[in-house]
Amino acid sequence: MGGKLSSLDPMQVDVPKLNELLDRDPYLRPYEREFRRRYACFRDYVDKVKEYEGGMDNFTQGYKYFGIHINSDNSVTAREWAPGAAQVYLTGDFNGWNREANPYKRLEYGKWELLIPANSDGSCPIAHLSEVKIVIRAQSGELVDRLSPWATYVVQPPRVEGFTYKQRIWHPPSNERYQFKHQPVKRPLSLRIYESHVGIATEEARVGNYKEYAEKVIPRIKKQGYNAVQLMAIMEHAYYASFGYQVTSFFAASSRFGNPEELKYLIDVAHEHGLFVLLDVVHSHASKNVLDGLNQFDGTNSCFFHDGARGEHSLWDSRLFNYSEYEVLRFLLSNLRWYKDEYQFDGFRFDGVTSMLYHSRGIGEGFSGHYDEYFGLNVDTEALVYLMLANYMLHELYPQVITIAEDVSGMPGSCRPVVEGGIGFDYRLGMAIPDKWIKLLKEVKDDDWNIGNIVHTLTNRRWLEKTVAYAESHDQALVGDKTIAFWLMDKEMYTHMSTLSEQSGIIDRGLALHKIIRLITHGLGGEAYLNFMGNEFGHPEWLDFPRAGNNDSYHYARRQWHLVDDEVLKYKFLNAFDADMNNLEEQYGWLHHHDCRISIYIFSFKHEDDKVVAFERGELLFVFNFHPTKSFTDYRIGVEIPGEYRIALDSDSQKYGGFQRVDPSVHHFTYPEGFCGRSNSIKLYIPSRTAQVYAKV
Kindly state whether residue 211 falls inside one of the protein's structural domains. no
Pick 602 or 374 by higher pLDDT: 374
Whole-number mean pLDDT of the chain?
94
- Per the CB < 8 A criterion, the answer to whether 493 and 540 are in contact is yes
Please state, as a whole number, how many other Cβ atoms lie within 10 Å of the Cβ of residue 548: 7
Output the CA–CA distances (angstroms, integers) from residue 650 to 321, 516, 626, in the order listed: 50, 10, 14
Helices (H) and strands (E) in the chain, counts: 17, 29
Residues 146 and 41 in one domain: no
Number of domains composing the chain: 3
Tell me how far apart the terminal alpha carbons of the chain are, to the nearest angstrom: 61
Best CA proximity match to 38, nearest among 540, 383, 342: 383
Instruction: Return d(Cα 186, Cα 203) in angstroms, integer.
Output: 32
- Domain termination residue (choose one: 176, 208, 241): 176
Instruction: Return d(Cα 688, Cα 630) in angstroms, integer.
Output: 5
Q: Is 80 helix (H, G, I), strand (E, B) or coil?
A: strand
Instruction: Return d(Cα 604, Cα 330) in angstroms, integer.
Output: 55
Which CATH number characterizes residue 93's domain? 2.60.40.10
**Cβ partners under 8 Å of residue 526, min gap 6:** 427, 430, 433, 461, 466, 467, 468, 469, 591
| pLDDT tier for residue 594 given thresholds of 50, 70 and 90 | low
Kindly state whether residue 476 falls inside one of the protein's structural domains. no
Which pLDDT score is estimated for 476? Answer: 84
Residues 83 and 128 in one domain: yes
Residues 605 and 666 in one domain: yes
Instruction: Return d(Cα 78, Cα 67) in angstroms, integer.
Output: 5
Which pLDDT score is estimated for 3? Answer: 43
Q: Is the pLDDT of residue 221 over 90?
A: yes
Residues 54 and 15 in one domain: yes
Instruction: Return d(Cα 53, Cα 396) in angstroms, integer.
Output: 17
Kindly state whether residue 292 falls inside one of the protein's structural domains. no
Three-state SS letters, 398-422: CCCCEEEECCCCCCCCCCCCHHHCC
What interhelical angle do 32-53 and 381-397 show, nearest 10? 60
Kindly state whether residue 309 falls inside one of the protein's structural domains. no
Q: What is the DSSP string of 610-644?
A: H-EEEEEETTEEEEEE--SS--EEEEEEEESS-SE
| pLDDT tier for residue 8 given thresholds of 50, 70 and 90 | low
Mean pLDDT value of segment 247-264? 98
Of all residues in the chain, the percent with pLDDT exceeding 90 is: 90
Please state, as a whole number, how many other Cβ atoms lie within 10 Å of the Cβ of residue 160: 5
- Per the CB < 8 A criterion, the answer to whether 523 and 622 are in contact is yes
Which pLDDT score is estimated for 677? Answer: 84
Which pLDDT score is estimated for 162? Answer: 78
Residues 47 and 94 in one domain: no
- Sort strands 191-197 and 166-168 into parallel, antiparallel or unpaired: unpaired
Mean pLDDT value of segment 30-35? 96
| pLDDT tier for residue 593 given thresholds of 50, 70 and 90 | confident
Residues 50 and 29 in one domain: yes
**Cβ partners under 8 Å of residue 558, min gap 6:** 200, 202, 203, 204, 205, 208
- Per the CB < 8 A criterion, the answer to whether 525 and 590 are in contact is no
| pLDDT tier for residue 369 given thresholds of 50, 70 and 90 | confident
Of all residues in the chain, the percent with pLDDT exceeding 70 is: 97
Pick 91 or 4 by higher pLDDT: 91
Best CA proximity match to 470, nearest among 444, 439, 437, 440: 437
Kindly state whether residue 304 falls inside one of the protein's structural domains. no
Which CATH number characterizes residue 686's domain? 2.60.40.1180
Best CA proximity match to 602, nearest among 476, 455, 407, 434: 455
Residues 40 and 90 in one domain: no
Residues 70 and 172 in one domain: yes
- Domain termination residue (choose one: 176, 202, 227): 176
Q: Is 127 helix (H, G, I), strand (E, B) or coil?
A: coil
Kindly state whether residue 52 falls inside one of the protein's structural domains. yes
Q: Per residue in 167-188, pLDDT tens?
A: 999 999 999 999 999 999 999 9
Q: Is 186 helix (H, G, I), strand (E, B) or coil?
A: coil
Mean pLDDT value of segment 483-511? 94
Q: Per residue in 270-289, pLDDT tens?
A: 999 999 999 999 999 999 99
Three-state SS letters, 378-390: CECHHHHHHHHHH
- Domain termination residue (choose one: 144, 176, 208): 176
Q: Which domain holds residue 27?
A: 10-59
Residues 47 and 68 in one domain: no
- Per the CB < 8 A criterion, the answer to whether 249 and 292 are in contact is yes
Instruction: Return d(Cα 245, Cα 248) in angstroms, integer.
Output: 9
Instruction: Return d(Cα 59, Cα 563) in angstroms, integer.
Output: 49
Residues 103 and 48 in one domain: no
Cα angle, residue 298 at apex, residues 295 and 299 outer, rounded to 5°: 80
Pick 2 or 651 by higher pLDDT: 651
- Per the CB < 8 A criterion, the answer to whether 57 and 90 are in contact is no
Active site amino acids: 351, 406
Residues 612 and 680 in one domain: yes
Kindly state whether residue 279 falls inside one of the protein's structural domains. no
CA-atom Rg of the chain in angstroms: 27
Q: Per residue in 406-450, pLDDT tens?
A: 999 999 999 999 999 999 999 999 999 999 999 999 999 999 999
Q: Is the pLDDT of residue 1 over 50?
A: no
Q: Is the pLDDT of residue 13 over 90?
A: no
pTM over 0.75: yes
| pLDDT tier for residue 676 given thresholds of 50, 70 and 90 | confident
Q: Per residue in 87-137, pLDDT tens?
A: 999 999 999 999 999 999 999 999 999 999 999 999 999 999 999 999 999
Residues 653 and 615 in one domain: yes
Q: Is the pLDDT of residue 604 over 60?
A: no
Three-state SS letters, 201-264: CCCCCCCCCHHHHHHHHHHHHHHCCCCEEEEECCEEECCHHHCCCCEEEEEEECHHHCCHHHHH
Sign of the CA dihedral running 257, 260, 264, 269: negative
Cα angle, residue 531 at apex, residues 192 and 610 outer, rounded to 5°: 95
Kindly state whether residue 550 falls inside one of the protein's structural domains. no
Q: Per residue in 618-654, pLDDT tens?
A: 889 999 999 999 999 999 999 999 999 999 999 999 9
